[in-house]
Structure 1
Amino acid sequence: MNAVAAHRPPTEEADHDLLRRTLAARVYEVARETALESAPLLSARLGQRVLLKREDQQPVFSFKLRGAYNKMVGLDAAQRARGVIAASAGNHAQGVALAAAKLGLRAVIVMPVTAPQVKIDAVRRLGGAWVEVVLAGDSYSDAQAEAARLEQQHGYTFVHPFDDPAVIAGQATVGMEILRQHPGPLHAVFVPVGGGGLLAGVAAYIKALRPEVKVIGVQTVDSDAMAQSLEQGERVTLDEVGLFADGTAVKRVGAETFALCQRHVDAMLRVDTDAICAAIRDVFQETRSVPEPSGALALAGLKQYAATHQLDDATLVAIVSGANLNFDRLRFVAERAEVGEQREAVFAVTIPEERGSFRRFCATLGQRSITEFNYRIGDAASAHIFVGIQIRQRDEREALTAAFAAEGFGVLDLTDDELAKLHLRHMIGGRSPLAHDELLYRFEFPERPGALTRFLGHMHPDWNISLFHYRNHGADYGRILVGIQVPAGERAMFEQFLAQLGYPCRDESGNPAYRLLLREASP
């Protein structure tokens, strides 16, 4: 665990007030009681009973409408007449928009320009004529500053996304439902944390009724304002926040939420992007729903906790807090999930640029499935290969490293290297003066374990491979791009080889993009 809350003597009056507010919260005029579902695949893998609290099933695909509506339905006539303003990265904005339309209130909602378009569009759709969207700044904190300025200018009532007793009470109803739905033994509840409204409310409610149940907050390593604040005993303001999990990208937690978390939260965990991507995939495999990064945050923490603690068939609950994911992020999530689950190892391997070394490299891989393969000839003495390999457990990385070294290959394990995973894997290539007599072909082959290795085994040993790119995208057919150096006098023999190879292929040697970016100009 990365941070443990220093518990203070409880402020009984404040806690009792929050409990009363929670029990009286009017969230069910717009929200629904969401399911607490078993996750059998994860339970079997982790050896614990894992339950998912499905807040992604709400009408706005997030828990946030609970607190927003509970705040707005309690406004007096004068406040309603002036209208409300809110700042949000997206999910709170949707809750405010739905509440505004339901109650007939004018609402101005300030969102950071980095908010996913799916959330911006949803806010406008849910609020209709009652809502005006203003885009300002790169993070929630930037949007909050603009909202504060407009609040002063126009006299709006500010609907805070987390630091308001009515909002916290609305979010606390998630904890109320968990205890009602699972009255049996419960080891811990894992909660995603941004500004702390959900964590504070759930923790305060659960500790009031079931103090033996652990409540554990989960944050990203680059947006950990609550974890740092609890560690230092005072609220910390982050200079920057990571935006992958945009729903929890908050630079400073609330005063109310911080005080409640100090009293009631047992611990905080930090997880990285790869772990979140793996958790997104886990939720999909269990439910066929795709949570947003912040929505899978709690499950990523639950998995980390289960891996580092000795538990005996414990019941663990993760709140799946939202599912407002931009579709264009799915490719990134899919690529990083394998690494996050420690099912893919990524290496840079250096082999001699000589006939037969490529075949020895493939033999070293054995029957393991290759997830990615990038190579471009560039040096007369050695070849540098970027390769992704599917593994079953982490110690296979060490075994592969030793196997490459035993063959005399230089090897660098890049599995945990952010630069390599984000950028370098896509930048291997370019023009090469050594790529003379190069033909460029695209091949297809049925995608199954060991298929790429078998394809490589069929390549003719007399012609040098000067370029190779392959990435397993989970399709029925694998697609590779190969550069092969074939002297002009051997082209007829090469055509015969292609016919005997038996794989569908297409000559791309005349492709204009290839000639512009990869092929040396003719002398």
Structure 2
Amino acid sequence: MLCDYLQLILTARVYDVAQETPLEVAPSLSTRLNNQLLLKREDMQSVFSFKLRGAYNKMANLTPDLLKQGVIAASAGNHAQGVALGAKKLGTRAIIVMPVTTPQLKVDAVKARGGEVVLHGDTYDDAYAYARQLEVEKGLTFIHPFDDPDVIAGQGTIAMEILRQYQQPIHAIFVAIGGGGLISGIAAYVKRIRPEIKIIGVEPVDADAMRQSLQAGHRVRLPQVGLFADGVAVREVGEETFRLCQQYVDEIILVDTDATCAAIKDVFEDTRSIVEPAGALAIAGAKQYVEREGIEGETLIAIACGANMNFDRLRFVAERAEFGEQREAIFAVKIPETPGSLRKFGESIGRRNLTEFSYRIADEQIAHIFVGVQIQNRAERLKMVEAFEECGFSTVDLTEDELTKLHLRHMVGGRSHLAQNELLYRFEFPERPGALMKFVSSMSPNWNISMFHYRNHGADYGRIVVGMQVPPQEMAEWQAFLDQLGYQYWDESHNPAYKLFLG
């Protein structure tokens, strides 16, 4: 099959719409990593993503009769724009089924490129099922976003360009994985021409369908996926892409949201361009690999695969980038409620910059302080805990706590003696007009909401934390509500930050 893919990639028709993107040194990152890091700038394509390569190659290889009848695709973003642009270039009709939760920016981008948008369902899976239904009803050809040889070959032209642009030794190429089309095409080409080069996939920790599939030896369908890196939020990888990854991919690295945000910042500082979360995964993976392996003087290549970022998301990215670089730490500190304690606490912080400082009187003996501090690295964070403890201040490090980073640092109010039988849960739900109130109204009228925090992150999903007063005898009913709700949730009732400041 490899020889077939080599031929398919070498003869792929992509350059009617795609450009050969630059392979650029990231100077600041290279210096920090003590290795040469090159970025393959697929974010510079006309649709700000690599996706038009595979989509166009698939359509360009259709028979004239099939092409005349038109094409259909399901997508919430980059693939949709690639299909729309390719169809316009080839003079055919393109219907794109998108979830109703898709931001208007992406809907408008597809329409601007000649696509007919049909909004259906809350998720990609809903849109996909409806697109396959319309495919049959209207006699259209479905353009799969990743699990198709022509699509895979189109993406593989990126590898062809890389090996032509850089003919010296390459230690590894890092590639983001969603459904697997991009890494399959790149791996199929590189392993035939330069088999000594490592091909390393990168997935979010909460959307690792390919890693789990490779470990299991068969395709695994995830019950749910994290939505931050929406470009790779795929619950099940392709059949053909799984086969190719089994054969050619050396390793898969998982990165979290904070590391991804830090990588977005890194790319901006080196290029003054802003990549989307999925577009930054490969960079985050390369950084993590270097730290783990301790290599120096090698050449690493990361695919900056997309830049379709909603502007409103930048606030969240900026907040979390500091955690990804371990430049901010958050602590809950207990100090005596006595004169002079606050001064002693300030002296223990020294000349470091504060990013957050919250205090509310709650106890006659002990004061609870919530504090954020700028740091240089994890070692300094540990030293701060030691410094607080040496002063007799009990300290909890909340830097890695998701409830704290998402919600608690933005909340006020403190404890309440009225919050009896309170449970605390975090939820994620598709962001759309009215979604928040729909969520609230779905709860039993017998339960009182005792705490609520929602903050718009400019993303395709909403994040809330809810305090709910549920009598012990109604816990079975509460669990039944959670099971039928259909949203991802986390029980935070025993979270130490909640206990310290709100519980």
Superposed CA offset, 1:436-464 (max 9, x none): xxxxxxxxxxxxxxxxxxxxxxxxxxxxx
* Structure 1 residue ranges without an equivalent (≥5): 1-13, 434-523
Shift of 1:431: 9.3
Report the secondary structure of 2:113's partner residue: helix
Q: Is the 8 A contact 1:370 1:387 kept in 2?
A: yes
Q: Aligned partners of 2:156 and 2:9: how far apart in 1?
A: 6
Deviates more, 1:152-161 or 1:316-325: 152-161
Q: Tell me the equivalent position of 1:263.
A: 247
**1:30 aligns to 2:50 (yes or no):** no
Of the candidates 150, 161, 173, which is equivalent to residue 189 of structure 1? 173
**1:80 aligns to 2:81 (yes or no):** no
Superposed CA offset, 1:331-366 (max 9, x none): 100000000111111111121222221111111110
Q: Is the 8 A contact 1:118 1:324 kept in 2?
A: no
Mapping 1:195-234, distance limit 5 Å: 195-234=179-218
Report the secondary structure of 1:27's partner residue: coil
**1:134 aligns to 2:118 (yes or no):** yes
Q: Aligned partners of 1:50 and 1:417: how far apart in 2?
A: 31
Q: Is the 8 A contact 1:279 1:296 kept in 2?
A: yes
Shift of 1:397: 1.4
Of the candidates 278, 301, 304, which is equivalent to residue 294 of structure 1? 278
Shift of 1:247: 0.3
Deviates more, 1:367-376 or 1:202-211: 367-376
**1:355 aligns to 2:339 (yes or no):** yes
Mapping 1:144-163, distance limit 5 Å: 144-163=128-147
Q: Aligned partners of 2:290 and 2:119: how far apart in 1?
A: 40
Q: Tell me the equivalent position of 2:49.
A: 62
Report the secondary structure of 1:316's partner residue: strand
Q: Tell me the equivalent position of 1:429.
A: 413
Mapping 1:409-420, distance limit 5 Å: 409-420=393-404
Pair member with larger Rg: 1
Which amino acid in structure 1 is aligned with residue 10 of structure 2?
L
Q: CA RMSD in A?
A: 1.4
Evaluate the alpha carbon distance shift between residue 330 and residue 137 of structure 1 in structure 2; reply closer, same or farther with a 3 A threshold. same
Q: Tell me the equivalent position of 2:451.
A: none
Q: Aligned partners of 1:138 and 1:323: how far apart in 2?
A: 23
Superposed CA offset, 1:244-287 (max 9, x none): 00000001111111111111111101110000000000000000
Q: Aligned partners of 1:100 and 1:378: how far apart in 2?
A: 64
**1:95 aligns to 2:82 (yes or no):** yes
Report the secondary structure of 1:350's partner residue: strand
Q: Tell me the equivalent position of 2:497.
A: none
Q: Tell me the equivalent position of 2:97.
A: 110
Which amino acid in structure 2 is aligned with residue 41 of structure 1?
S
Q: Aligned partners of 1:431 and 1:308: how far apart in 2?
A: 42
Superposed CA offset, 1:183-221 (max 9, x none): 000000000000000000000000010000000000001
Report the secondary structure of 1:311's partner residue: coil
**1:170 aligns to 2:157 (yes or no):** no
Q: Aligned partners of 1:195 and 1:385: how far apart in 2?
A: 45
Which amino acid in structure 1 is aligned with residue 406 of structure 2?
L
Q: Aligned partners of 1:340 and 1:24: how far apart in 2?
A: 41
Of the candidates 271, 289, 292, which is equivalent to residue 305 of structure 1? 289
Q: Tell me the equivalent position of 1:316.
A: 300
**1:400 aligns to 2:387 (yes or no):** no
Evaluate the alpha carbon distance shift between residue 224 and residue 98 of structure 1 in structure 2; reply closer, same or farther with a 3 A threshold. same
Which portions of structure 1, spanning 4 or more consecutive aligned residues, are displaced by more than 4 angstroms?
430-433
Identity among equivalent positions (%) equals 64
Q: Is the 8 A contact 1:116 1:325 kept in 2?
A: no
Superposed CA offset, 1:359-403 (max 9, x none): 111111101111222222233322222111111111111111111
Superposed CA offset, 1:402-456 (max 9, x none): 11111111211001101111111111336999xxxxxxxxxxxxxxxxxxxxxxx
Of the candidates 325, 329, 332, which is equivalent to residue 316 of structure 2? 332
* Structure 2 residue ranges without an equivalent (≥5): 418-503
Superposed CA offset, 1:208-235 (max 9, x none): 1000000000000111101111111111
Q: Aligned partners of 1:166 and 1:279: how far apart in 2?
A: 31
Q: Tell me the equivalent position of 2:491.
A: none
Q: Tell me the equivalent position of 1:449.
A: none
Q: Is the 8 A contact 1:217 1:298 kept in 2?
A: yes
Q: Is the 8 A contact 1:115 1:246 kept in 2?
A: no
Q: Aligned partners of 1:214 and 1:113: how far apart in 2?
A: 39
